[in-house]
Structure 1
């Protein structure tokens, strides 16, 4: 019997695959636990439409991430930090502070977990911080750190 998997089944396959199983296994395990559907013409058609819709949504999300990255690269976020003699700072700038400043200064909603910094910013100057917007898209944001007066 051919089955369309609704969920990932460890020994059978991934969601959306069409697999061949024994009739008893399908009737007694896969179908009652709602792990799959019988592969009828209507169900196969529905699966194709669902995959096409998912691909369309994924393409729209990718385009939106690329647009946001292009917009973000035009912006600059300014942060201030206390500094002592010789430009030595007290403390550091974290991804949380950068996300809050981007929201207040530029109106951009950036998740602090998506801001990729090898380490916190501990000195004055201008930095480019990478922001992972999508698995295929990463944008750059300019962060200018100034001395607090």
Structure 2
């Protein structure tokens, strides 16, 4: 079925475009949500105004998301979670929890789908979280997952100490691979 898109549909088409889509997709999703209309002679004449409106909306959204990207880039947020003595969480930190925390702290309206973690976080520590704000606009934040009743700065110190221990060179006098007899 040929339709004219009224709004941007991520991964499908931008507003003002004409595309062939499957009949079920058009009937069950695009048409009821007013994201597209059937491509009739009348709707084809309105395309130029739709494209202009869609381009204006997209440019405004791009501008807003660039500003948000600059605001969020490199920021630290902390989430408190119950954990055992070994640092394993009782449960996990999900993308929805991260989005909610960002929305509360920075006053933005991010969806959980924009948080790009491959799987839920199940350990105490610091994670770098990639965020896809809009089409080609990406940023990263640092997430500090800390046990209930502890300060996030304690986790930062612990991670920093662990990294310095890993980065220290081994003692050069010890050479286990030498076979001198």
Q: Same fold (TM over 0.5)?
A: yes
Return 5+ residue gaps in structure 1 as ranges: 9-13, 17-32
So what's the TM-score if we normalise by structure 1?
0.65
Counterpart in the other structure of 1:35: 40
The 1-side partners of 2:81 and 2:3 are apart by 53
**What is the SS of the residue equivalent to 1:141?**
strand
Aligned length: 119
User: CA deviation digits over 1:67-116, x for unaligned, max 9?
Assistant: 11111114321101112122222111001111221222332321112211
Name the CA shift for 1:50/1:103 in 2 (closer, same or farther; >3 Å): closer
Aligned ranges for residues 41-120 of structure 1 at < 5 Å?
Answer: 47-48=47-48, 50-120=50-120
Which residue, 15, 18, 22 being the options, matches 1:15?
A: 18
Q: Is residue 75–residue 106 contact of structure 1 (8 Å, CA) maintained in 2? A: no
Are 1:147 and 2:144 matched, yes or no? no
Q: Is residue 73–residue 139 contact of structure 2 (8 Å, CA) maintained in 1? A: yes
Q: Is residue 84–residue 90 contact of structure 1 (8 Å, CA) maintained in 2? A: yes
Q: Is residue 4–residue 43 contact of structure 2 (8 Å, CA) maintained in 1? A: no
So what's the TM-score if we normalise by structure 2?
0.55
Q: Is residue 18–residue 39 contact of structure 2 (8 Å, CA) maintained in 1? A: no
Q: Is residue 6–residue 34 contact of structure 1 (8 Å, CA) maintained in 2? A: yes
Return 5+ residue gaps in structure 2 as ranges: 6-16, 20-37, 150-181
Counterpart in the other structure of 2:153: none
**What is the SS of the residue equivalent to 1:109?**
coil
Question: Is the strand fraction higher in 1 or 2?
Answer: 1
**What is the SS of the residue equivalent to 2:18?**
coil
Between the two structures, name the one with larger relative contact order (CA 8 Å, sep ≥ 6): 1
Q: Is residue 78–residue 143 contact of structure 2 (8 Å, CA) maintained in 1? A: yes
User: CA deviation digits over 1:1-57, x for unaligned, max 9?
Assistant: xxxx9737xxxxx639xxxxxxxxxxxxxxxx8701499xxx5xx754543443233
